[in-house]
Amino acid sequence: MSGFPIVDLVIGMIFVYFLLSVITSSAVEMILTGLKARAKILEEWLIRIFDQKVRQPDGTVRAFGQMIMDHCAVIALSEPGKAPSYIDAKNFSSALIEKLTYDPQNPKSIASNIEDIITALKNTTLLSTEMQRALLSFAYEAKATYSNLTVKTISEIEYFKSKVENWFDTSMDRLTGTFKKRYSRPFTLLVAIITCIALNADSIAISKYLYSNPDARANIVAQAYREASDSTYIKRLNQLHAAPQDSVTLQQIKTEIDTSLQSINKAKAALANDIPIGWKSSVNTKISPVGVLTKITGLLATILAIFMGAPFWFDLLNKIANLRGTGAKPASSTSPDKK
């Protein structure tokens, strides 16, 4: 404890918000994994950017973007014509160049220099004019960069691929924003509402309880300090922010759900101690307009706090933990970093 009830109350509420955010984030991750939301966003982008129609040998017509999805370098375990949840930039550039330079008359031939790629880009009908010009500019820039080098360590094609990969990574960053806007934020708000109502997570009631119960407040503050360095939470937060992997198989979905359930159970167990959550019926309870308004306000405050996200509250909890009393824990004298 800090010795100041208000400070301890703030720490306790931050910890409560963090645990509720973990529950919500894990539940949202389970839902989006099951819906394959990331794969849908990526598939939509590929078909929109590479929208030129190509007639297949069997007579079917497909978008060039779907052909890229089916390339062996990116298909992973997704269904034919469907995008995986994640494509590595290097695999994407390899698949794109292979498709653009493929010669049906000589199937085993590959582009051996930048001129082969430039020729293929000029003659291809697989790209829109805008995309064709963009890739040609990458090719000419790669050629100019390579020719100006005194020491040539990589080929012109590698320079071209790096430009394509940078463009792809930039596009994926923008898709992340689209993913959050279309899926992550709406589902987070929905799950936050359900969680708060189901658990009766009333910020006003919890704060009143902690302020008037020193023992409960001390216990939750001590627990908050312990959990601030808990490797389980740190690992889970890193997973939620890591690049998503292709999770289209039942086994992969099950693994992701199991991980989320473990996070939820751990957070629920921490919440169960010293915090008044859950609905309790009482025949003597009187319902008044003021009480209803207070309850709604408390629940809305918790919903908004959860919407801030677990990383926000975890970082804030860590900062406060490092500022407490003597500050951050000093490094060990036997630490390899200490000479």
- Give yes or no for a contact between 80 and 70, defined as CB atoms under 8 angstroms apart: yes
pLDDT higher than threshold 50 for residue 139:
yes
Q: Is residue 303 part of a domain?
A: yes
* Locus of tokens 């009480």: 291
The rounded distance, in Å, linking the Cα atoms of 181 and 296 is 26
Domain that holds residue 208: 5-38+177-323
The residues, any chain, with a CB within 8 Å of residue 248's CB and separated by 6 or more, are 36, 39, 76, 77, 78, 79, 82, 84, 85
pLDDT higher than threshold 60 for residue 200:
yes
What sign does the dihedral 81-87-91-93 (CA atoms) show? positive
3-state helix, strand, coil in the chain (%, to 5): 65, 0, 30
Q: What per-residue confidence (pLDDT) applies to 339?
A: 44
Mean pLDDT is lowest, of 226-230, 243-247, 272-276, for 243-247
Work out how many domains the chain is built from and give that number.
Answer: 1
The string of pLDDT tens digits covering residues 236-249 is 566 555 544 443 34
pLDDT tier at 71, thresholds 50, 70, 90:
confident
Q: Is residue 238 part of a domain?
A: yes
Mean pLDDT on 250-274: 57
Mean pLDDT on 119-146: 93
pLDDT higher than threshold 50 for residue 211:
yes
The rounded distance, in Å, linking the Cα atoms of 324 and 320 is 6
Q: Is residue 137 part of a domain?
A: no
- Give yes or no for a contact between 10 and 221, defined as CB atoms under 8 angstroms apart: no
Q: What per-residue confidence (pLDDT) applies to 282?
A: 57
Q: Higher confidence at residue 159 or residue 106? A: 159
On the CB side of 115, how many CA atoms lie within 13 Å of its CA?
1
Mean pLDDT is lowest, of 31-40, 192-201, 262-271, 325-334, for 325-334
Distances from the Cα of 80 to the Cα of 21, 91, 258, 289, angstroms: 36, 17, 27, 58
pLDDT tier at 332, thresholds 50, 70, 90:
very low
Distances from the Cα of 117 to the Cα of 70, 136, 206, 256, angstroms: 21, 9, 65, 40
- Give yes or no for a contact between 12 and 220, defined as CB atoms under 8 angstroms apart: yes
pLDDT higher than threshold 50 for residue 277:
yes
Q: What per-residue confidence (pLDDT) applies to 50?
A: 93
- Beta pairing, strands 53-55 & 61-63: antiparallel
Q: What per-residue confidence (pLDDT) applies to 246?
A: 41
Mean pLDDT is lowest, of 107-116, 261-270, 294-303, for 261-270
Mean pLDDT on 319-332: 57
The string of pLDDT tens digits covering residues 165-190 is 999 999 999 998 999 999 999 999 99
Q: Is residue 47 part of a domain?
A: no
pLDDT higher than threshold 80 for residue 161:
yes
The residues, any chain, with a CB within 8 Å of residue 53's CB and separated by 6 or more, are 61, 62, 63, 64
Q: What does the DSSP assignment read for 275-314?
A: ---S----TTPPP-HHHHHHHHHHHHHHHHHHHT-HHHHH
What's the predicted TM-score (pTM) here?
0.75
pLDDT tier at 265, thresholds 50, 70, 90:
low
- Residue 204's CB is within 10 A of a number of other CB atoms, namely 15
| Phi, psi at 309, each rounded to 5° | 100, 150
Arithmetic mean of pLDDT over the chain? 81
Q: Is residue 121 part of a domain?
A: no
Tell me the angle at which helices 114-123 and 156-179 cross, rounded to the nearest 10 degrees: 50
pLDDT tier at 250, thresholds 50, 70, 90:
very low
Q: Is residue 13 part of a domain?
A: yes
Q: Is residue 329 part of a domain?
A: no
Q: Is residue 63 part of a domain?
A: no
The rounded distance, in Å, linking the Cα atoms of 285 and 283 is 6
Tell me the residue type at 225. Answer: Y
The rounded distance, in Å, linking the Cα atoms of 65 and 62 is 8
What percent of the chain clears pLDDT 90, i.e. is strictly above it?
33
Residue 269 corresponds to which tokens in the numbers above?
């167990």
Q: Which DSSP symbol is given to 181?
A: I
Tell me the angle at which helices 231-241 and 5-35 cross, rounded to the nearest 10 degrees: 50
Q: What per-residue confidence (pLDDT) applies to 135?
A: 95
